[in-house]
Amino acid sequence: MIRKIIIGVDPLKAMAYYVGQKAGDSLVDAIVLDEAYLHKFKEKRYLVYIKHPEDGVMLWKSVENVPVLIEYDLNF
């Protein structure tokens, strides 16, 4: 499970999204690798979903063709 995605070449200056982060009235609900896109185009694309209190879960952003650093949710 992906917990955080950092987008950009320099992590100190990059944009980051993490599960639980506020996005307006919503919260980032999930960050997933789009496996269908990977199989079709042989490129990685990550999808960022948000959960709105009234509208439910919806796709908010897609991240493709840029360097990313992925942080996974580990339970020890």
User: What pTM did the predictor assign?
Assistant: 0.91
Contacts 24+ apart (CB under 8 A), 21-24: 23/50, 23/60
Residues 6+ apart with CB under 8 A from 42: none
Whole-number pLDDT of residue 73 = 87
| Across 24-28, 32-36, 71-75, least confident range | 71-75
pLDDT in tens, 28-55: 999 999 999 999 999 999 999 999 999 9
Domain that holds residue 44: 2-72
Q: Which amino acid is at 19?
A: V
Domain count across the chain: 1
Residue with tokens 């580990």: 74
Q: Which amino acid is at 9?
A: V
d(C-alpha 19, C-alpha 13), whole Å:
20
